[in-house]
Amino acid sequence: MEKVGDFLELDFRRIFVWLRAGLMLALALAVLGALAGGIYGLMATKRYTVATDILINPANLQVVDNDLYPQSGQIDGQVFVARSRQRVLTSRNVLSRVVDELNLADDPEFAPRTSAPEADRRLAALAKLQESVDVRADEQSFVTTLLVTAQTPGRAIEISQAIVKTFQDELAETEAEGANRAAAALDSRLRQMKQDVLEAETKVEDYKRNHKLASSNGQLVSSQAMTQLNTQIMNARARVAAAQASYDTLVAGGINGTNANPAGSPALADLRSKANTVREDLNSQSVQLGPRHPSILKLKVALDTIDAQLRAEYQRTVEVAKANRDTARIALNSLVTEMNKLQGTVFTAGDSEIALRELERDAAAKTAIYERFLARARQLTEREQIDTTNVQVISAPTPPRGRSWPPSTKLLVLLGAFGGFGLGLLLAIARGIGQDLRLPPDVQRGKTA
């Protein structure tokens, strides 16, 4: 302890003495370090790293309206989606598929050449590949950089391209699997919904059959019949009014009425015209000729004949008009009687139609929901075939300018020389300290002084 205490009072000039004494050793170790660095730089296994910039857009391509996967509008949600997909890029599923695709289990760079089972070599290759892959995310964008290291630039590029392709396939398969699960869930529900629709429609038809509610074009036959009968009654009333007016006109006008064209009797109109013509001729000739003149007598005979025909035709026309009026009234009364009978049936059917409409509404609602679900299931089935992932390679991997490991031979030589020289100096100091600790205390004080 006394030697240690004396040593702590040592002057720093002793250090320069020790360093000068060990200078040759330091130089020798510097040369050895430089040689070791150069040999390592020439003999070590070289590694090359390639970079691939990938734009992982969190918003999928909107190729289908009302898509299964909603678009995230919040920036935080978009960041979470992008980071989740970034984890998929180096997930075990993706890398395992790359190992199988590139047969890395038989590659000496990734799996040792042993007689181990294929499963063990595959696990070793997967572990080695996980060590050789790294990702870096740009905090200011959705760009992710994939770094792949291999012994040759070509092999690194091949692995990088395989990882990107498998990553895109994995995302597409994941979305397709989600759409498949949704479609399967809808299909299982559709079977029950289809059964419910069939039962509801069966209830509607059974109710119609039991209550005799026949329908046509979506309307009950009884309601259609009542509508048609009401139209017939209005037409019959119009015919009655027309027949009554025609009859009243004939009766009011008399035989020589002013109606030049009575309805339904062209002959009566013709006889009236002839009688008026003969009467005008008789009146005009009676002024010039005497009452016994042959022309006058002839005109009187003709007028009497026409008057007899006119009276007969008038009587016939009046009877026909009266018969038409009576027939129209009978038809109207028959229709009114039929309407009175049908109204009771319609009112009874109306009460039943209320319950029928409720059953039809229930069936229509179930049918609409079933059709909507059926269309959605078909849409999801087709959605499985569409890749909407928005992943784009914006910088393809290219051969690097130099190796990523080991550093350049010149740098290794410098580092080896510097390390060897530093080690030599440390050894010189350690040797000097050891020598001084072995000397007597008075000698140490002398050297220090």
Q: Does residue 418 have a pLDDT over 80?
A: yes
| Domain match, 228 and 301 both | yes
Range of the domain at 430: 1-43+420-442
Instruction: Pick 392 or 306 by higher pLDDT.
Output: 392
Q: What is the mean pLDDT of residues 59-66?
A: 52
Residue 203: both structure tokens together:
């209830």
CA distance 11 to 386: 82
Residue 50: DSSP 8-state: E
In a domain, 432, yes or no: yes
Residues 6+ apart with CB under 8 A from 157: 50, 148, 397, 398, 399
Categorize the per-residue pLDDT at 449 as very low, low, confident or very high, splitting at 50, 70 and 90.
Answer: very low
pLDDT at residue 222, as a whole number: 65
CA distance 331 to 367: 47
CA distance 432 to 447: 12
Residue after which a domain boundary falls, among 332, 356, 383: 383
| Domain match, 424 and 378 both | no
| Domain match, 334 and 432 both | no
| Domain match, 331 and 427 both | no
Q: Does residue 62 have a pLDDT over 50?
A: no
Q: What is the mean pLDDT of residues 400-411?
A: 76
| Domain match, 222 and 310 both | yes
CA distance 235 to 247: 18
Q: Does residue 210 have a pLDDT over 70?
A: yes
Residue 47: DSSP 8-state: B
Residue after which a domain boundary falls, among 363, 383, 403: 383
Q: What is the gyration radius of the CA atoms in the chain, in angstroms?
A: 59
Residues belonging to the chain: 449
Q: Is the dihedral of CA 72, 73, 77, 79 positive or negative?
A: positive
In a domain, 284, yes or no: yes
Mean pLDDT over each residue of the chain, to the nearest integer: 77
Categorize the per-residue pLDDT at 384 as very low, low, confident or very high, splitting at 50, 70 and 90.
Answer: low
Q: Does residue 426 have a pLDDT over 60?
A: yes
In this structure, the dihedral spanned by the alpha carbons of residues 81, 84, 86 and 89, taken in order and rounded to 10 degrees, is -130
pLDDT at residue 439, as a whole number: 63
In a domain, 179, yes or no: no
pLDDT at residue 147, as a whole number: 92
Q: Does residue 235 have a pLDDT over 80?
A: yes
| Domain match, 379 and 429 both | no
Q: Are 126 and 97 in contact (CB under 8 A)?
A: no
CA distance 299 to 306: 10
Categorize the per-residue pLDDT at 243 as very low, low, confident or very high, splitting at 50, 70 and 90.
Answer: confident
Query: What is the tens place of the pLDDT at every residue in 127-140?
Result: 989 998 999 988 88
Where do the H-state alpha helices sit in 112-152? Answer: 118-132
Query: What is the tens place of the pLDDT at every residue in 142-200?
Result: 889 999 999 888 989 999 999 999 998 888 888 777 777 777 777 778 888 888 889 88
Q: What is the mean pLDDT of residues 436-449?
A: 56
In a domain, 315, yes or no: yes
| Domain match, 252 and 341 both | yes
User: β-pairing, 391-395 with 219-220?
Assistant: unpaired
In a domain, 58, yes or no: no
Q: What is the mean pLDDT of residues 374-385?
A: 71
| Domain match, 362 and 237 both | yes
In a domain, 145, yes or no: no
Q: What is the mean pLDDT of residues 300-321?
A: 75
Categorize the per-residue pLDDT at 223 as very low, low, confident or very high, splitting at 50, 70 and 90.
Answer: low
Residue after which a domain boundary falls, among 358, 383, 408: 383
**Residue among 67, 32, 139 at smallest CA distance from 413:** 32
| Domain match, 286 and 377 both | yes
Instruction: Pick 327 or 204 by higher pLDDT.
Output: 327
In a domain, 304, yes or no: yes
CA distance 445 to 449: 6
Kindly report the number of other CB atoms within 10 A of residue 91's CB atom: 14
Q: Is 59 helix (H, G, I), strand (E, B) or coil?
A: coil
In a domain, 257, yes or no: yes
Any idea which of 35-49, 249-263, 277-291, 364-378 has the lowest mean pLDDT? 249-263
pLDDT at residue 16, as a whole number: 79
Q: At what angle do helices 153-210 and 92-102 cross, to 10 degrees?
A: 120
Burial of 34 from C-beta contacts in 10 A (0-12 / 13-18 / 19+): buried
**Residue among 133, 175, 166 at smallest CA distance from 150:** 133
Categorize the per-residue pLDDT at 448 as very low, low, confident or very high, splitting at 50, 70 and 90.
Answer: very low
> Residue 448: CA atoms inside 13 Å, Cβ hemisphere, count?
19
CA distances to 91, 104, 105, 124, 260 from 119, rounded to whole Å, are 19, 12, 9, 9, 118
Q: Are 98 and 129 in contact (CB under 8 A)?
A: yes
pLDDT at residue 5, as a whole number: 47
Q: What is the mean pLDDT of residues 81-102?
A: 88
| Total structural domains within the chain | 2
| Domain match, 427 and 289 both | no
Q: What is the mean pLDDT of residues 286-304?
A: 71
Q: Is 54 helix (H, G, I), strand (E, B) or coil?
A: strand
Q: What is the mean pLDDT of residues 71-87?
A: 71
| Domain match, 241 and 344 both | yes
**Residue among 222, 102, 195, 190 at smallest CA distance from 150:** 102
- pTM for this prediction: 0.52
| Domain match, 221 and 294 both | yes
How many H-runs (helices) and E-runs (strands) does the chain carry?
12, 6
CA distance 176 to 384: 4
For the residues of 161-225, what is the DSSP string, one character each? HHHHHHHHHHHHHHHHHHHHHHHHHHHHHHHHHHHHHHHHHHHHHHHHHHTT--EETTEEHHHHH
Residue 339: DSSP 8-state: H
Residue 106: DSSP 8-state: G
CA distance 203 to 197: 10
